[in-house]
């Protein structure tokens, strides 16, 4: 299967595309000569990873009949100081909220996403150090 | 420098985050159990690459005083058939529109982005085959 994305330059540093029928605008910050009409492109790498593994985990927990009161996927990315300013390390924090959550099942869901299902982490971990943490909050 | 992204689960397969002050919703397609309230996360990998290199090229061409009438960055990604369904190959097509465009300068701008500036391609090319094409259209 092939995915095709067409990103069109609008003006100054702003670009626009259609992703699955949803408009996405990307722009540089004002201090970088842009107009901040949309987010910076590199950070989409973090959103892509968080969304991919987050959806896997939601789906797996549903199958396991584990119900959570809240769930956040926090991704921390270390950026290189010199060009190319790439992510050199990422940490994915799976933060669950709920009473008496079964840690073993949460761990299994996260592991299944990371090792079997998530196509985004499968690419990133070839290129950078990817670590994981599970947090349960009140 | 560290970038932190916090993606919050909303309901069903939908997640939401704030990226540089801009709201981004991610969701699965209806046939995958979602409500299509936002794009699929994996495709953000393509948008991230297109935006990163596109902004580099716009900025470099501006410095070179090259004016284009139009500019699109098209990214084609080949997706693996089996889990994890990751991108195995990407092709970046830089499509410029304009009269008498100086191909040597366009090539130089693209090369500078790919080899020096773009932090997204710097990561992807460690993990998959990344190729480039420059097109000039009427």
Averages of pLDDT over runs of 10 residues in chain B (138 residues) are 98 97 98 97 98 98 97 98 97 97 98 97 98 95
Task: Give me the count of residues in chain B.
Answer: 138
Residue of A24, A49, A86 with shortest CB distance to B47:
A24
Q: How far is B107 from chain A (nearest CA, A)?
A: 18
pLDDT of residue B107: 98
Residue B123's closest CA among B50, B49, B36? Answer: B49
Interface probe with A: pick from B84, B94, B133, most Cβ of A within 10 Å: B84
CB of B101 closer than 8 Å to CB of B66? yes
How many CB pairs (< 8 A) connect A and B? 258
Q: Which pLDDT score is estimated for A138?
A: 81
pLDDT at B138: 81
**Which of A52, A59, A74 is closest, CB to CB, to B5?**
A74
Task: Give pLDDT tens digits for A9-19.
Answer: 999 999 999 99
Distance from C-alpha of A13 to C-alpha of A31, rounded to nearest angstrom: 12
Query: Are B50 and A17 a contacting pair, CB within 8 Å?
Result: yes
**What is the distance in angstroms between the Cα of B3 and the nearest Cα belonging to chain A?**
5
Contacts of A22 in chain B (CB under 8 A): 25, 38-39
Q: What share of chain A in percent tops pLDDT 90? A: 99
**Are B79 and A1 a contacting pair at CB < 8 A?**
yes
- Determine the average pLDDT of the residues in A38-50: 98
Nearest neighbour of A3 by CB, restricted to B38, B55, B79: B79
- Tell me: cis bond preceding A123? Omega within 30 of 0 counts: no
Name chain B contacts of A85, Cβ cutoff 8 Å. 119
- Please work out, in degrees rounded to the nearest 5, the angle formed at the alpha carbon of residue A47 by the alpha carbons of A42 and A53: 135
Q: Mean pLDDT over residues A106-118, rounded?
A: 98
- Local confidence band at A100 (pLDDT 50, 70, 90 cut-offs): very high
Among chain A residues, the shortest Cα distance to B126 is held by A127
The residue in chain A having the minimum alpha-carbon distance to the alpha carbon of residue B2 is: A78
Chain A residue with the nearest C-alpha to that of B127? A126
d(CA A77, CA A43): 9
A41-137, what's its fold? GMP Synthetase; Chain A, domain 3 (3.30.300)
The partner residue sitting opposite A41, judged by closest CB among B4, B15, B55, is B55
Domain boundaries along the sequence of chain A: 1-39, 41-137
- Cα B13 to Cα A2, A15, B39: the distances in Å are 23, 27, 11
Question: CB distance B123–A45 less than 8 Å?
Answer: yes
pLDDT (tens digit per residue) in A54-91: 999 999 999 999 999 999 999 999 999 999 999 999 99
pLDDT confidence of residue A54: 98
Q: Contacts of residue A33 in chain B, CB cutoff 8 Å?
A: 59
Asked if B84 lies within 8 A of A122 by C-beta distance, the reply is yes
């Amino acid at each position: 299967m092939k995915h095709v994305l067409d990103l069109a330059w609008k003006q100054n540093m702003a670009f626009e595309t259609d992703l699955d029928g949803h408009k996405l605008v990307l722009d540089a910050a004002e201090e970088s000569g842009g107009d901040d009409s949309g987010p910076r492109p590199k950070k989409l790498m973090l959103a892509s990873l968080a969304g991919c593994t987050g959806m896997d985990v939601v789906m797996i927990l549903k199958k396991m009949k584990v119900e959570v009161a809240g769930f956040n996927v926090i991704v921390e990315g270390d950026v290189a100081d010199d060009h190319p300013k790439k992510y050199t390390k990422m940490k994915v924090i799976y933060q669950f909220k709920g009473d008496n959550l079964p840690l073993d099942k949460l761990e299994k869901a996260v592991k299944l996403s990371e090792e079997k299902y998530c196509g985004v982490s499968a690419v990133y971990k070839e290129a950078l150090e990817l670590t994981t943490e599970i947090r349960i909050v009140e």
